[in-house]
Amino acid sequence: MYKILIVDDEERIRNVIATYAKNEGYEVTHASNGLEAIDLVLENKYDILILDIMMPKLDGFSTLKRIRETSDTPVIMLSARQEEYDKLYGFELGVDDYVTKPFSVKELMARISAILRRDSQTVSHKVFQFEGLKVDVDSHIVEVNGEIVHLTPKEFEVLHFLILNKNKVVTRERFLTELWNYDYFGDDRTIDTHIKMLRSNLQEYRKFIVTVRGIGYRFED
């Protein structure tokens, strides 16, 4: 049974999400603020977190920063704001998906299911080596010239997906539908942002990620 942690200061929202999640067969835990969520994540293993941005005591972004120090559990952010900056900042911190309030709980359940299904399809242990770039799929460890570089979960997915499609062009649309695993209604500049951050982390081996203008990207060995 998948375990979900719902973090929101509004009890009504927590209860509505929890009702649907339990009907889907999930085990649900609640937290009303970020500090409480951090304690729960340290003490328990969750399969996915539903995290509100605007909360007392500690906002969602600050909470996620603390959580990412010890956990790479997938996170869906709930936000009453639609500013592009908020979304890009969240992706930089390792957010897997965004849902803007007010939202359809059925759609949220579909997005949760997509992320959990994606994570359950883990590829068997495999290590890729390209010059001084080493990618360990099972342990989610990336090394550049022997030094570990820290990628967000989504950055790792993008890199792994590019490697699996080595020397083939991956369109922005394919990134969105296959990595986010649903019909994404956002701006495809999200992909460009992740590629930019990924290239920065790969340092000199950013050369392997080639831009195909107007189409997408290719991992070129």
Q: Are residues 93 and 45 in the same domain?
A: yes
Q: Which residues form the domain of 70?
A: 3-120
Q: Write the DSSP string, the chain.
A: --EEEEE-S-HHHHHHHHHHHHHTT-EEEEESSHHHHHHHHHHS--SEEEEESS-SSS-HHHHHHHHHTT----EEEEES---HHHHHHHHHHT--EEEESS--HHHHHHHHHHHHHHHHSPPPS-EEEETTEEEETTTTEEEETTEEE---HHHHHHHHHHHHTTTS-EEHHHHHHHHS-S---S-THHHHHHHHHHHHHHGGGGGGEEEETTTEEEE--
Output the pLDDT for position 120.
Answer: 60
Q: Are residues 83 and 10 in the same domain?
A: yes
Last residue within a domain, chosen from 67, 99, 120:
120
Output the pLDDT for position 83.
Answer: 66
Output the pLDDT for position 162.
Answer: 94
Instruction: Give residue-wise pLDDT tens across range 99-116.
Output: 888 888 999 999 898 888
Instruction: Give residue-wise pLDDT tens across range 4-37.
Output: 999 999 999 999 999 999 998 999 999 999 999 9
Q: Are residues 136 and 34 in the same domain?
A: no
Weakly modelled stretches of the chain, pLDDT under 50 = 122-124, 184
Please, are residues 164 and 156 in contact by the beta-carbon 8 Å criterion? no
Instruction: Please tell me the total number of residues recorded for the chain in this structure.
Output: 221
Question: What CATH number corresponds to the domain at position 189?
Answer: 1.10.10.10
Output the pLDDT for position 37.
Answer: 94
Last residue within a domain, chosen from 120, 150, 178:
120
Rounded Cα–Cα distance for residues 103 and 123 (Å):
33
Alpha-carbon distances, residue 197 vs 68, 156, 192 (angstroms) = 17, 11, 9
Which structure tokens are listed for 168? Answer: 């083939």
User: 4 pairs with which residues across the strands?
Assistant: 28, 48
Output the pLDDT for position 124.
Answer: 46
Output the pLDDT for position 123.
Answer: 43
pTM, rounded to two decimals: 0.58
Q: Are residues 18 and 97 in the same domain?
A: yes
Peptide bond into 153 cis (omega under 30): no
Output the pLDDT for position 88.
Answer: 79
